[in-house]
Structure 1
Amino acid sequence: MVRVHSSLIGMDTHTTSSRTPVTLLGLGDMGTALARAWLLAGHPLTVWNRSPQKAGPLAGEGARVVATPAEAVASATGPVVLCLLDDASVEEVLRATDVNGKDVVNLTTSTPAEARRRARWAEERGARFLDGGIMAVPSMIGRPETGGYILYSGDRALFESHREALEAPAGVKFVGEDPGHAALHDIALLSAMTGMFAGITHAFALVRPEKGLDPAGFATLLTEWLGAMSGMTHEMAAQLASGAYTQGVTSSLAMMAAGNEALLATAENQSVDPRLLTPFMELMRRRVAQGHGNEGLAGTVDLLRSE
């Protein structure tokens, strides 16, 4: 691995020192990736981690390591970034710190409700607050070509004032001044990914026992097909926005529900448990039974709402 202090040789000192200092609490896999991205971009970096040994390599790469969260926060002149396990960890780590006058940026995975509570917590203590959702895995951080990005919501002025530093690890998308919106977008996108993975898992289960069928070749077809079908998200969004669920329908719900019978029969013939698909199929069946067979899938969204 190329060490940051070596890669910075010859860099203009004024440029490096003029970068916004960043304080980072939490050096798990993601935190460490964020730290290295900030160091490579020339941002002075202060780090703290519960297990001090994880900070050792970063000290050799130019980071300043401190012993306590309180010390890290007290010395911060730029954003104080948290990348911890969960909201309970954030509560514990910040309990003995004074965040008055500080800029707190929470990149810890949380729920929208937790993000809003944390924003109120920060405001009550005199801090500005941004919540973030990282749409990337650690290997994508610092590599813009991979398409990873970080969602932010909360104090827009805070976001804009530190935008350069926030953009160093990955692309950024500001999704609203409601501090819960980054977490909501994050969870919604991850939920869609989980559903996609469920379909992929079912698809591989169907083809796995077939002799002469190459999983790698099938994966290429699967990737192409999912990419082609992703355009339906815009169709559904337009229908939800307008309330006209029959507008621009390319495949009617009745037709898709009828086609589900072939999916289920094939699963049975291939000795594949259909449980990853049947809950969604049941929603489709219910919507058709309610007389909405000429719609697209937008109406199934309403069936999931409990209000």
Structure 2
Amino acid sequence: MSAPADNTPRPVTVLGLGPMGQALARAFLAAGHPTTVWNRTASRGDSLVARGALRAATPADAVSASDLVVVCVLDYAAALSVLDAAGDAAKGRTVVNLTADTPARAREAAAWAQAHGVTYLDGAIMTPTSTIGTPHAVYLYSGPEDAYRAHRPTLDALAGTPSYLGADPARAASHDVALLDLWWTSVSGLVHSIALARSQGVSARDLAPFAKNIGNLLTSVIDEFAEEADAGEHPGTESDLVSAAAGLAHIVHASEEAGLDASVARAAHAVAERAIAEGRGHESTLGMLRTIAAGEARPTPAAH
């Protein structure tokens, strides 16, 4: 039996051809979708045109070519600038914005779309460029569920694991910034730990096996931290915030004695000290949650 006509790969447009935009376009092409591409620097589309993509001369031409328009540029200001340049051609289309930015700007983009007759899905790509089109890619989407379901067959060309997070257009961006916070804080901690080890004559290669154990330990406590955070109860039965602050103070001292920049560890220590001063020293590290949520800048206390 022949496949229904609905299974025919549908046209898609990709606006923005940085490394990630190019990877998205390649995945659509590989899955057989007629793919139109546009970028301010047209030559970035050369390799995609060689693979069969159609290069549009203007944003309006690009948007007119497909009912589904995928945007992947530097930030939401750039995304809306390109979509504005498309003018009335965007009306009636579905835009999937895979650009990274803040939840507030995701809501602004959704409001812009509503005002211009555009169906808007916000999205986030949570894995590197090399994963696009493979089972290792991870995507988050939020916005109108009917639009997501309607275009899911085309979006599935990107492969990997997609998750629909709900109708709030800022939901994907909210996950994105929180997860990027975890990633970049962790990566900067890793880089700093390597610098601290090397200052004491320990090579990064010698440190690596033990660093992996710390990474595994972090993974093992995520579910526990999530449950306690949502429950609002985080007793420091095994290790309290006073102990954590002492450990952070040691890192600050060792870093500064070695002539290293200790600003990140000092900032974390400052938050811990404020939480202790607010009476939460007996709680676990999650005792810093309310202090962080208060968001009030205060003088940084000296490390003990």
Question: What is aligned with 1:295?
Answer: 283
- The more displaced of 160-169 and 274-283 is 160-169
Instruction: Report deviation, 1:24.
Output: 0.8
2:112 and 2:224 mapped to 1: Cα distance?
39
Matching residue within 88, 105, 120 for 1:129: 120
2:6 and 2:92 mapped to 1: Cα distance?
25
Matching residue within 267, 286, 291 for 2:274: 286
Question: What is aligned with 1:29?
Answer: 19
Judged with a 3 Å threshold, the aligned counterparts in structure 2 of structure 1 residues 268 and 58 are, in CA distance, closer, same or farther, namely closer
Q: Are 1:140 and 2:131 an aligned pair?
A: yes
Matching residue within 172, 189, 194 for 1:199: 189
Instruction: Report deviation, 1:161.
Output: 1.6
Alignment of 1:249-268 (within 5 A): 249-268=237-256
Instruction: Report deviation, 1:116.
Output: 0.8
Matching residue within 32, 49, 61 for 1:59: 49
Question: What is aligned with 1:236?
Answer: 225
Question: What is aligned with 2:203?
Answer: 214
Unaligned runs of 5+ in 1: 1-11
Judged with a 3 Å threshold, the aligned counterparts in structure 2 of structure 1 residues 304 and 142 are, in CA distance, closer, same or farther, namely same
1:174 and 1:136 mapped to 2: Cα distance?
16
Q: Are 1:42 and 2:60 an aligned pair?
A: no
Judged with a 3 Å threshold, the aligned counterparts in structure 2 of structure 1 residues 220 and 15 are, in CA distance, closer, same or farther, namely farther
Q: Match for 2:294: what amino acid? A: S
Q: Match for 2:49: what amino acid? A: A
Matching residue within 64, 85, 105 for 1:114: 105
2:117 and 2:106 mapped to 1: Cα distance?
17
4+ runs deviating over 6 angstroms:
12-17
Q: Match for 2:239: what amino acid? A: S
| Number of equivalences | 291
1:141 and 1:233 mapped to 2: Cα distance?
26
Q: Are 1:105 and 2:96 an aligned pair?
A: yes
Judged with a 3 Å threshold, the aligned counterparts in structure 2 of structure 1 residues 166 and 249 are, in CA distance, closer, same or farther, namely farther
2:198 and 2:169 mapped to 1: Cα distance?
44
The TM-score, its normalising length taken from structure 2, stands at 0.87
Please tell me whether the aligned partners of residues 16 and 42 of structure 1 are also in contact (alpha carbons under 8 angstroms): no
Judged with a 3 Å threshold, the aligned counterparts in structure 2 of structure 1 residues 165 and 217 are, in CA distance, closer, same or farther, namely farther
Higher share in helix: 2
Instruction: Report deviation, 1:271.
Output: 3.7
Please tell me whether the aligned partners of residues 11 and 35 of structure 2 are also in contact (alpha carbons under 8 angstroms): yes
1:198 and 1:249 mapped to 2: Cα distance?
29
Instruction: Report deviation, 1:103.
Output: 0.8
2:71 and 2:96 mapped to 1: Cα distance?
6
Judged with a 3 Å threshold, the aligned counterparts in structure 2 of structure 1 residues 72 and 265 are, in CA distance, closer, same or farther, namely closer
Judged with a 3 Å threshold, the aligned counterparts in structure 2 of structure 1 residues 123 and 261 are, in CA distance, closer, same or farther, namely closer
Q: Match for 1:153: what amino acid? A: S
Query: Between the two proteins, what is the percent identity of the paired residues?
Result: 36
1:268 and 1:128 mapped to 2: Cα distance?
53
2:118 and 2:96 mapped to 1: Cα distance?
10
2:257 and 2:103 mapped to 1: Cα distance?
43
Question: What is aligned with 2:147?
Answer: 158
Q: Match for 2:196: what amino acid? A: L
Judged with a 3 Å threshold, the aligned counterparts in structure 2 of structure 1 residues 265 and 52 are, in CA distance, closer, same or farther, namely closer
Please tell me whether the aligned partners of residues 235 and 249 of structure 1 are also in contact (alpha carbons under 8 angstroms): no
The TM-score, its normalising length taken from structure 1, stands at 0.86
Please tell me whether the aligned partners of residues 106 and 131 of structure 1 are also in contact (alpha carbons under 8 angstroms): yes
Q: SS of the counterpart of 1:131?
A: strand
Instruction: Report deviation, 1:290.
Output: 2.6
- The more displaced of 177-186 and 279-288 is 279-288
Unaligned runs of 5+ in 2: 296-304
Q: Match for 2:110: what amino acid? A: A
Cα deviation, 1:201-230, whole Å, max 9, x if unaligned, reads: 22111111344x432232232123112223
Question: What is aligned with 2:301?
Answer: none
- The more displaced of 217-226 and 267-276 is 267-276
1:156 and 1:13 mapped to 2: Cα distance?
25
